[in-house]
Structure 1
Amino acid sequence: MTEEQPARPDITVDSQTSGAVREAVDAGFPATVADLSKLVRIPSVSWPAFDPAHVVESAEAVAALLRDTGVFELVDIRRALVEDGSEYGQPAVVAKRAARNGRPTVLLYAHHDVQPPGKDEDWETPPFEPTQRGDRLHGRGAADDKAGVMAHVGAIRALAAAVDDLDLGLAVFIEGEEEWASQSFANFLKDQRDLLEADAIIVADSGNWDVDTPAITVALRGAVAFNLRIDTLGHASHSGMFGGAVPDAMLAAIRLLDTLWDASGSVAVEDLRSAGLEVPAYDEAQLRSETGLLDGVTPIGRGEILERIWSEPAITITGIDAPDVANASNTLVPGVRVRVSARIAPGQPADEAYAAIKSHLEAHAPFGAKLTFESPDTGEAFLVDTSGWAVDETRKAMAEAWGVEPVEIGVGGSIPFIAELVEEFPAAQILVTGVEDPESRAHSPNESLHLGVFKKALLAEALFLARLNARA
């Protein structure tokens, strides 16, 4: 127990209130799914190549939903400058109601922007036309993270309907650029500090163990990404005339990038660390089922599978700028650009990891190839302190809503802004929850939300808020 997280008395919620919350969630769930579908129809991609008007439309829709709950004293759409001060970031929605009678304040976070859809032909249903197939609602943002937005809205609606004396303080921050590196996030927190300060923060942007078992995310890997140029020639040359004597950039790139991994596929950058987290059982069959790993293709790395995903660094080449096959002439390519994306184990600073990768590449550049590092971007890893009262109350609410005890999980992906939340609000307890399950396919074609998981996650949050509203 830290000084910033003092013990609180046990919180009890009478069965009548618990039942009223459950009834309110049941009664409001069809409307919640309908409102989620309306949000999914808005193509709120925050990347620069997409129309920012859709992100504005999405923010306005979320603000209207929060106003309609009737519980907030303030609901507004605000922006902050990006880190370098060159422009304003995408619009975020904020809301606030002050705590009464000594109750705590909870900050609810989610994001209303989404990833690009990719190619329409890769989708089984239109990406921005929400489509229910069985127990799942398909569409871009249906899970990540417009369901997180609606989990907050639905929980607030249920709480307001079930509780006569609502004394709990609530702050809401629905970000508009999480999928574009949260570039104004730190400045937004500083600008809105008084509005957003809270005793506990729920970040609804993670997942669950499976459709029957809830999870609290306690470990997140950090992120390092940059563009790497590899140049060997001042201009293209005939591959027949000079091939075999002149190293082309593609050859140099392939040889260089291969040094990033050993024969098993584990990262071979000497100064990247591992975290050594304990992990539950998870076999290769489950990995194949959840990832679509093809028959005959083997997993990479060593050790327990979840340890590789939660505790170890990983490096992926996510893009290559080079002539495509349709335009492949018989020339030696003078330069190649690749996108390097790394995940960093909890406990290692992101800047230190970037320096290690950069040094490795410089030391292994073949044939004297010239390397240029462009647009480095880093995000910190995070480990949740699970000793506080808020985590304990979350466990109890999840167990009541799902009918089984939650598990603690790590996530191979990154949510770098959580470290910024901790820096700005060091006394607040961080709760990383979510509505996704292993089949949600966030960021991928055919993203979907399991509606049963969504309902239980929403109920768990509503019960958590009710518990805190009853705190003596």
Structure 2
Amino acid sequence: MTDFATVTAELMPRLREDLKHLASIPSIAFPGYPAEEVHRAHDEVVNLLRDAGVDRIDRLDLPDTSPVITGHIPAPEGAPTVLLYGHYDVQPAGDESLWDSPPFTPTEIEGGKGLRGRGVADCKANIIAHIGALRVHGGRPPVGIRIVFEGQEEYGSAFDDYPPKQPELFAADAMVVADMGNVRPGEPTLTVALRGAADLVVELRTLKQPVHSGEFGGAAPDALLAMIAALATLHDADGNVAVEGLRRDAWEGTSYTDEEFAELAGMTPEARQIGTGPIGERLWHGPAITVIGLDAPAVDTAAAAVVPYARAALNLRVHPEQDVVAAQRALVKHLEKLRPMGQRLTVTAGDAGAGFAATLGGPAYTAMGSAMETAWGSRPVEMASGGSIPLVNALSKAVPDAEILMFGAEDGHCGLHAPNERVLYDELAKTVIAEAAFFDEFARRFRD
């Protein structure tokens, strides 16, 4: 039997260098950024796959979408097929003055225990973990392999809804979605649910133009005051969502401590969490409504006038198993019924993306639990994510019988999408061990 830990330890120096090189490419697939860098990352990942033993590699081109890398290693006789997902694009770096080192100059941290740089955790370490697991098996794993590495996950693309249109490209018995990680370093974690997400815009106009606050204030309808009154109805006094029809259930998996959450969220010392009940329930198994934008006069240039127009952008997060469109309608209905200070609101629904709840207890899930115990020395815990991976739901629709397993080399403290994003080498190594062991364990259980 292969000693996965020993083989991985031998591979890690090279895997670390591969990660540094890949993370040095600013593959930002947002408008206004150079597309050639995304294509350069694409070519680098293709080379890594070929080196890892994937001979059949193709490219899927869709309108206004960075190329999707697909690949295939045929399954041995009687063995299952595993789809490996990741993405090679990254978030913009943001304010580079907040970084301790240049975001696209990958820099070792903590005495060589990890690597800092944009995209090192989300999601290039997970790409390297897939590469590493294939190298552990010398490019000939005991299962069939399908590769799906996209290049525009962070911005969204035509690929988000594509898999059900060509399900044969994604046919697999299990899918390993490596765009997640452990709740905290050293604690093996499977993500088993994703909240859905929906957007909407609410606006109102009450006056043709601003009017003098002394001459008209007190009777002239203030659009901003009415908007504030409307937004205040979305939560109760404790900060719990107060919109009828939005689902919230108890959460039985692992979660953060209050102190850990405060640190991760960057809460100021005097700030307090909003809402009541367990953190996991609030973050992952219930709704959240966030005001993500508000059109209002700037304080520094404010005039003494009644505001005639106000607009707010809302982001709704939805229980993983609630119909996201129905939840969006519930919020629209709540707002349209309001008459804040007698004013009528105009509500426009925007994009909506469904949540996801994994099927638990199948052969792939059981095999991954055993493999993660091999890597980390303890059974994995379960968590959910308040974020979303648009493709997961599309993959589930394309291949409804496939078990979807979400894990990876990230961890809850890695700072993805933030300044000083980092990945720990030990987490990367254990992710490689777990995935390589999963191939063996799943093949055995599949035959049994």
TM-score > 0.5 by shorter chain: yes
Does the alignment pair 1:224 with 2:207? no
Query: Which digits, 9 at most, give the CA deviation of each residue in 1:144-187, with x for residues without a partner?
Result: 111111111111112216xxx64521101011222123443222
The alignment of Structure 1 onto Structure 2 pairs a total of residues equal to 444
Q: Which residue number corresponds to residue 13 of structure 2?
A: 30
Q: CA deviation at 1:384?
A: 1.3
Name which of 215, 224, 231 aligns with 1:257.
231
Name which of 290, 306, 327 aligns with 1:316.
290
**Preserved contact between residue 254 and residue 381 of structure 2 (Cα < 8 Å):** no
Residue type of the alignment partner of 1:29: M
Q: Which residue number corresponds to residue 43 of structure 1?
A: 26
Q: CA deviation at 1:79?
A: 2.1
Name which of 392, 399, 402 aligns with 1:428.
402
Does the alignment pair 1:153 with 2:109? no
Q: Which residue number corresponds to residue 175 of structure 1?
A: 150
Does the alignment pair 1:115 with 2:91? yes
Name which of 94, 103, 112 aligns with 2:79.
103
Does the alignment pair 1:88 with 2:71? no
Does the alignment pair 1:444 with 2:418? yes
Relative to structure 1, the CA distance from residue 315 to residue 27 in structure 2 (aligned partners, 3 Å threshold; closer, same or farther) is same
Does the alignment pair 1:184 with 2:162? no
- For normalisation by structure 1, the TM-score amounts to 0.87
**Preserved contact between residue 320 and residue 337 of structure 1 (Cα < 8 Å):** yes
Using the alignment, how far apart are the partners of 1:140 and 1:374 within structure 2?
35
Query: Which digits, 9 at most, give the CA deviation of each residue in 1:170-206, with x for residues without a partner?
Result: 1010112221234432225523x32321111001111
Residue type of the alignment partner of 1:46: A
Query: What is the SS of the residue equivalent to 2:178?
Result: strand
Using the alignment, how far apart are the partners of 1:372 and 1:52 within structure 2?
38
Using the alignment, how far apart are the partners of 2:308 and 2:352 within structure 1?
29
The 5-angstrom pairing of residues 73-472 of structure 1 reads 73-80=55-62, 87-134=63-110, 135-160=113-138, 166-191=141-166, 193-280=167-254, 282-369=256-343, 371-374=345-348, 376-469=350-443, 472=447
Q: CA deviation at 1:143?
A: 0.9
**Preserved contact between residue 107 and residue 170 of structure 1 (Cα < 8 Å):** yes
**Preserved contact between residue 279 and residue 307 of structure 1 (Cα < 8 Å):** no
Using the alignment, how far apart are the partners of 1:328 and 1:245 within structure 2?
20
Query: What is the SS of the residue equivalent to 1:146?
Result: helix
Using the alignment, how far apart are the partners of 1:123 and 1:245 within structure 2?
50
Identity across matched positions, percent? 39
**Preserved contact between residue 248 and residue 333 of structure 1 (Cα < 8 Å):** yes
Using the alignment, how far apart are the partners of 2:343 and 2:415 within structure 1?
38
- For normalisation by structure 2, the TM-score amounts to 0.92
Using the alignment, how far apart are the partners of 1:383 and 1:91 within structure 2?
28
Using the alignment, how far apart are the partners of 2:303 and 2:121 within structure 1?
43
Q: Which residue number corresponds to residue 84 of structure 1?
A: none
**Preserved contact between residue 315 and residue 343 of structure 1 (Cα < 8 Å):** yes
Using the alignment, how far apart are the partners of 1:227 and 1:92 within structure 2?
32
Query: What is the SS of the residue equivalent to 1:180?
Result: coil
Query: What is the SS of the residue equivalent to 1:143?
Result: helix
Using the alignment, how far apart are the partners of 1:157 and 1:240 within structure 2?
74
Q: CA deviation at 1:125?
A: 2.6
**Preserved contact between residue 27 and residue 89 of structure 2 (Cα < 8 Å):** yes
Using the alignment, how far apart are the partners of 1:438 and 1:287 within structure 2?
10
Q: CA deviation at 1:376?
A: 0.9
Using the alignment, how far apart are the partners of 2:189 and 2:145 within structure 1?
23
Q: CA deviation at 1:100?
A: 2.1
Using the alignment, how far apart are the partners of 1:58 and 1:332 within structure 2?
52
Relative to structure 1, the CA distance from residue 394 to residue 294 in structure 2 (aligned partners, 3 Å threshold; closer, same or farther) is same
Using the alignment, how far apart are the partners of 1:160 and 1:273 within structure 2?
47
Using the alignment, how far apart are the partners of 1:297 and 1:98 within structure 2?
54
Q: CA deviation at 1:282?
A: 4.5
5+ residue gaps, structure 2, are none
Q: Which residue number corresponds to residue 62 of structure 1?
A: 45
Using the alignment, how far apart are the partners of 2:334 and 2:120 within structure 1?
40
* Bigger mean CA offset, 431-440 vs 48-57: 48-57
**Preserved contact between residue 63 and residue 77 of structure 1 (Cα < 8 Å):** no
Relative to structure 1, the CA distance from residue 76 to residue 257 in structure 2 (aligned partners, 3 Å threshold; closer, same or farther) is same
Using the alignment, how far apart are the partners of 1:231 and 1:446 within structure 2?
42
Query: What is the SS of the residue equivalent to 2:129?
Result: helix
Residue type of the alignment partner of 1:175: E
Q: RMSD of the TM alignment (CA)? A: 2.2
* Bigger mean CA offset, 181-190 vs 194-203: 181-190
Q: CA deviation at 1:343?
A: 1.0
Q: CA deviation at 1:52?
A: 3.0
Residue type of the alignment partner of 1:95: G
Relative to structure 1, the CA distance from residue 239 to residue 108 in structure 2 (aligned partners, 3 Å threshold; closer, same or farther) is same
Using the alignment, how far apart are the partners of 1:40 and 1:371 within structure 2?
46
Relative to structure 1, the CA distance from residue 202 to residue 281 in structure 2 (aligned partners, 3 Å threshold; closer, same or farther) is closer
Query: What is the SS of the residue equivalent to 2:122?
Result: coil
Query: Which digits, 9 at most, give the CA deviation of each residue in 1:192-225, with x for residues without a partner?
Result: x323211110011112122111011112211112
5+ residue gaps, structure 1, are 1-13, 81-86
Relative to structure 1, the CA distance from residue 47 to residue 336 in structure 2 (aligned partners, 3 Å threshold; closer, same or farther) is farther
Using the alignment, how far apart are the partners of 2:101 and 2:203 within structure 1?
37
Using the alignment, how far apart are the partners of 1:404 and 1:73 within structure 2?
35
